[in-house]
Amino acid sequence: MSKKNIVVFASGSGSNALNLIHYFNSSETAVVNAVFTNNKNAGVISKAIENRVAVQRFNKIDFYETTQVIDWVEIYNPDLIVLAGFLWLVPPSFIEHFEGKIINLHPSLLPKFGGKGMYGKNVHQAVLESHETETGITIHKVNKEYDKGEILCQAKFSIESNDDINHIESKIHDLEFFHLPKTIETILAK
């Protein structure tokens, strides 16, 4: 059985992309064969290169005004496109082209704390300010609205009285690193 192809989109440090690269390097299921980024200074670039994964940088014109990014992604024949810390709204043309093949990792229990500007520490700050008793992650299909697609997986933990943003962020990363690869395996097994 041949391995399935995963393309990862990331805008930042790439900790989840790196986790996926390492996880699937020792898996029979799939391989991460490309990382796409909209940030020329993203940490994910060096992490991908160090692990011999192709990197493609793109800008707003490539993504929103042309089919360039679609054409580049097609080269990798993706079975799944994973948004892992990717901060731009995906254009309808891209979603339509890769219908049903795009998932997103979000650091809260959607539908709470989703939407534009809700990423990273912004989410954790909002969770704390709202005096939530629990938080977690959501892995969902991507549609034309920020964080509104069908939920595929949620994992949560209770917020302790001494938890600050850094504690929450660390616990979120633990959930992401464990659940994202497992969810991807389940999707690709179907």
Catalytic residues: 106
Residues facing residue 10 across a β-bridge: 37
120: left (phi over 0), alpha (psi -120 to 50) or beta: left
* DSSP letter string, 30-47: EEEEEEEES-TT-HHHHH
The C-alpha atoms of residue 172 and residue 45 are separated, in whole angstroms, by 22
The C-alpha atoms of residue 104 and residue 82 are separated, in whole angstroms, by 6
Q: H-type helices in 143-164, by residue range?
A: none
Strands of the sheet containing 151-158, edge to edge, are: 54-57, 30-37, 4-10, 80-84, 102-106, 134-141, 151-158
